[in-house]
């Protein structure tokens, strides 16, 4: 099956096309250092033959607290523990990339007593939190912090770095006409709203070199009125290709609501039960030459195989189903092709950490 065949992205070789999409474990300490429980989670994923493992996103700024228990990558002190992590994954023949991000106003954690940046003055829809509109100097500082973080990712032995550009975090807000009400060179036209992303990619490239893979997770649509439309997201993906991105992971801005939206049509495409954003990713993959992965709702290997053969998509991101069954990839590879047990109920995000609350306890 093509699903279990290798894929090469620049210097990174993945032994199959299953991506463990970035998953918040809520298990790091206050400063962002990993716990032994987290190491055990990644060991299980690597041992069970996930082709490419992506970490939960790591904050690039010391005073950023997107959620409780998030990883950090804001200074060199993190490198030794991440070398331990990447060495462990590589011992099992796996590949691992780190997702880096600035969360901004999409947080309800430790919001008092610190500056939380935003593109402009619009409160985030789910948190109702307003941030401090960034100056051009603030933007340039943040671009540098992304680049420095990515260099640490490479020095830590990760096979790639992924920029989080979706889910109403800061970069998605810059891209979205709903949130970006700026009237300078970082607002207004799509080209201006994209400018910060272009500058981050180019600054990272200068730090990591031409052969190191840079990925990005993007939102195919905001799925709300006056938000980022699929047509603009498609154009953004073509801009990403011109900026030198090496991998695009397609997701969508419907966290926790997908099951209720199955069968609905947005921007000319339908949200599917077996792959919410497949129709969007299929069109994106036809429009760019860089590899495209798609995340959201996948759990049936036969359907995933069909999608690989009828589209230019390279692979699939899975998150919740791997919380339910860490051995899922190995089970499929071994010939047991029964779909994942995961119900996609989104009850796995709990105050005590993320785990499947339906099929097994904490």
- How confident is the model over 215-244, as pLDDT tens digits? 999 999 999 999 999 999 999 999 999 999
Domain that holds residue 348: 2-354
pLDDT at 66: 87
- Whether residue 110 is contained in a domain is answered as yes
Backbone angles phi, psi at 254, to 5 degrees: -135, 40
- Whether residue 168 is contained in a domain is answered as yes
- Whether residue 360 is contained in a domain is answered as no
- Report helix, strand or coil for 313: coil
Q: For 323-332, what is the mean pLDDT?
A: 93
- Whether residue 112 is contained in a domain is answered as yes
Cα 156 to chain centroid, rounded: 19
Q: Which CATH number goes with the domain that contains 304? A: 3.20.20.70
Confidence of residue 360 (pLDDT cuts 50, 70, 90): low
* 284 pLDDT above the threshold of 50: yes
Number of domains in the chain: 1
- Whether residue 249 is contained in a domain is answered as yes
* 124 pLDDT above the threshold of 90: yes
Confidence of residue 362 (pLDDT cuts 50, 70, 90): very low
| Lowest-pLDDT choice from 94-98, 128-132, 339-343 | 339-343
- Report helix, strand or coil for 58: strand
* 357 pLDDT above the threshold of 90: no
Q: Where are the alpha helices (DSSP H) in the chain?
A: 36-47, 79-91, 136-155, 170-175, 190-208, 230-243, 258-261, 278-287, 301-310, 320-324, 328-333
DSSP string, 172-195: HHHH-TTT----STTSSSHHHHHH
| Lowest-pLDDT choice from 155-159, 229-233, 344-348 | 344-348
């Amino acid at each position: 099956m093509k699903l279990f065949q290798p894929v090469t992205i620049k210097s990174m070789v993945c032994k199959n096309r299953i991506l463990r999409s970035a998953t918040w474990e809520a298990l790091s300490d206050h400063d962002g250092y990993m716990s032994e429980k987290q190491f055990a989670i990644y060991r299980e994923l690597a041992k069970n033959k996930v082709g490419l493992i992506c970490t939960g996103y790591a904050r690039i700024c010391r005073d950023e607290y997107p959620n409780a228990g998030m990883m950090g990558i804001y200074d060199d002190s993190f490198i030794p523990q991440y070398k331990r992590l990447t060495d462990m994954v590589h011992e099992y023949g796996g590949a691992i990339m780190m997702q880096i991000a600035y969360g901004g106003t999409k947080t309800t954690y430790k919001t008092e007593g610190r500056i939380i940046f935003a593109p402009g003055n619009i409160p985030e829809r789910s948190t109702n939190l307003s941030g401090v509109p960034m100056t051009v100097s603030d933007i340039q500082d943040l671009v540098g912090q992304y680049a420095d973080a990515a260099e640490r990712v490479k020095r830590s032995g990760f096979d790639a770095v992924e920029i989080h550009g979706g889910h109403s975090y800061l970069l998605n807000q810059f891209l979205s006409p709903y949130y970006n009400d700026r009237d300078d060179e970082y607002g207004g036209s799509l080209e201006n709203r994209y400018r910060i992303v272009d500058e981050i990619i180019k600054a990272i490239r200068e730090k990591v070199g031409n052969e190191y893979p840079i990925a990005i997770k993007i939102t195919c649509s905001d799925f709300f009125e006056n938000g980022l439309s699929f047509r603009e997201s498609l154009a953004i993906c073509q801009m990403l290709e011109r900026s030198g991105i090496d991998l695009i992971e397609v997701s969508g801005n419907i966290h926790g609501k997908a099951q209720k939206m199955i069968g609905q049509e947005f921007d000319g495409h339908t949200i599917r039960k077996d792959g919410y954003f497949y129709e969007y990713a299929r069109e994106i993959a036809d429009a760019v030459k860089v590899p495209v992965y798609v995340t959201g709702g996948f759990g049936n290997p036969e359907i995933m195989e069909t999608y690989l053969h009828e589209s230019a998509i390279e692979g699939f991101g899975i998150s919740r189903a791997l919380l339910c069954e860490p051995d899922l990839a190995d089970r499929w590879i071994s010939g047991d092709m029964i779909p994942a047990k995961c119900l996609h109920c989104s009850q796995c995000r709990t105050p005590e950490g993320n785990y499947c609350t339906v099929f097994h306890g904490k």
